[in-house]
Structure 1
Amino acid sequence: MRSIGRFTAWATTLATAVGATIVIAGSPASADAGGYWAWQCDPGRACLHLSGGRAAPGGPYWNVNGCGPHQIGDYYDFAIARGNHFIVTYIDDRWDRVDAWTSRDLDPANLATNVWVFC
């Protein structure tokens, strides 16, 4: 078992690396053509908010178009379902479900790779 001091040092190093990755990424990764950037979550959309206070040229919200799977590749801290429920999948195969007409926090330090909108 690791000592508390060694564990704290390891956790600090990991948190610093994740934070640096988000900062180095700088501008948002491009998502597939199944959506658009905006300054708000538009009606009828599944929306993801970029983490780290970042914004794309169109805004910090990725508004997903249509049903089914959509490839993404960035870090998001918040999700809003202004219609159907959806699932956000992360690179480590964990996922978060956002129920219809709700919002929730996402894991801002975990790379989101896919959004599946259920219609």
Structure 2
Amino acid sequence: MKLDQDCVRDLLLELESKLSFNQPIFIDDFKELETVSSYGYEISVYALLKMIEAKFVNANVTYAGDEIYQLAISSLTWDGHQFLDTIRDHEVWKETKAATKKLSSVSLSIIATLATEFLKKKLGL
């Protein structure tokens, strides 16, 4: 399955706004997120699992067979906040996506590097 970069960004933005200290987001809450409604459950869960692998979010996932049985998203990690801060600005995100559009796929680290360069340019650094 292909990782939807827009879904990753939108999930990070929404999780940041919805998560509270000691108030995790559970599977039923996750299914109700606007991002999940927009992209669909499968694409959103895949993005979330990759964000967990990338250590962008702290979460516990329990499986029953191939299905997610329990999910508890507790917080964004330091790396998750850093990545989100790099791609948060809509114009920076738009430029980053335009720059990567020519390629069939681009890693999150490359996206972060490009976004950082566009952000520096925007700030005149």
- TM bucket (normalised to shorter chain) is under 0.3
Which structure's residues are more often helix, by fraction? Answer: 2
TM-score, length-scaled by structure 1: 0.25
Greater strand percent: which structure?
1
